[in-house]
Structure 1
């Protein structure tokens, strides 16, 4: 098979396409021919040598999400048939023509979705869905989403609207906010270095209450600003750290608001947890994707051979939605 290989830590130029032996599915595993994948911040960090893959994942082949078709079953695998269209998340190795994964860690792809669109779904929608469920988001509540123009942010906005919630969001530019209004965003704030504007914006759009739920995909100083924007008993889920992995927090806001703060990650979770998350996504989000109630947002498409250019595109921070990588 052809696979993208990180030849050494560095910039996009360290990515090369190599021939690698086809993987062989083990017990209760399936072999999947990858038709499309997408890029994530984890891929950029892994390429730079800052985010090694979890145990059992290929050490030098990036890619944590995939859409493809089953081409072989390992011993004991019984849930799928050859030819079934499936998508899911893996610890690595998705930027290749073939991969193996546990048969229960995938969900069926709706027939209506083309491969390139399907490749934009798993990480964005599974992450957003899982984070909203961890926050116990409920109809009638207000959800604040940072980096709402990202793949996860747009998925969270769409799911919020589909589940009867209002979505407030932040982005780097007004242009991204304008586009996000077509994908579930009710009101947006172009947030630069002056984070003091966040709390007044949120309170203006919540009759002074604050947000019930916040998905923080940015981290760094955003987290403290988010604390000041929450309603009493609000729930914050920290999903990403694009603005930094450290920052100061005003603990009084946390205490006085009785706010719940939790972090989440998918890539490093044990297999049984990833199976549970994927199955719940398949049951609760799959029908919405099939009907078109929610849909993937593709920023751009690149072939596997163009992967260095795809990395450059994601690193530009100008993306809106997902950078998709097609294998064929």
Structure 2
């Protein structure tokens, strides 16, 4: 079914821009050859590197990994290279890969089985971080950090660093975390800024590198936006498009997370009779009105960190 959808899409786009611009190589009969891990390979540690040969005409490759014990797909991902690194727990697995472009897919490669076994040597192994996600924006300064355990690690080193330009300053460190999570109270992170959290696994004889993610603390509410159009008192006719525009360019917060504007349109200046409410991040909204009369509109922002700003002083326009 997917291939038919691609053909329809190509035909539709080609009608407007010409076939020469969107023709893709037909890779249907090509075969991706896996390089590593080969069938029946045994890998010590938890870092697995998957490699395969390039297919001319393939823009991306879809790699799938199956846990043989549970018979569940644990990874289904598109990558644009012929090399993929992944941290895995001990167990037995199968993997396969195929090439894709806008119009065509190859068949999947033959399944290759491999096993991952624990190793006492932690050097070269990976600490797989769970949460918070990389580049998270939040207004909550009490955060629980978690990661996947390595069976041969006896403890973990955990750090939080504050980022100021090119400088990174350690503001919290625990060098003996025996669990795979740690909760930081609201006395450690005290200001809006960019931060890094990182974890290293250790035992008596070896240790991993630090593995890190970035997060942003933003506790400031978005400022009220500037209303641009329509102008106050501007007149429109029924069924005429009214273009509402606004911006948050006056935001001066230390961390400026993305803002989604919520527009409300009412038939009274107290906004007790709201006729329309809409949210978007573009700063632009178009609507038509079939009922004549005076209308009032206002906008407020909700940012990516979860902060909600105040509505601005409302605008007003007329439909005649």
TM-score class normalised by the smaller sequence: under 0.3
Given the two structures, how large is their TM-score scaled by the length of structure 1?
0.23
Given the two structures, how large is their TM-score scaled by the length of structure 2?
0.24
User: Whose strand proportion is higher, 1 or 2?
Assistant: 2
Greater RCO (Cα-Cα under 8 Å, separation 6 or more)? 1
User: Whose helix proportion is higher, 1 or 2?
Assistant: 1
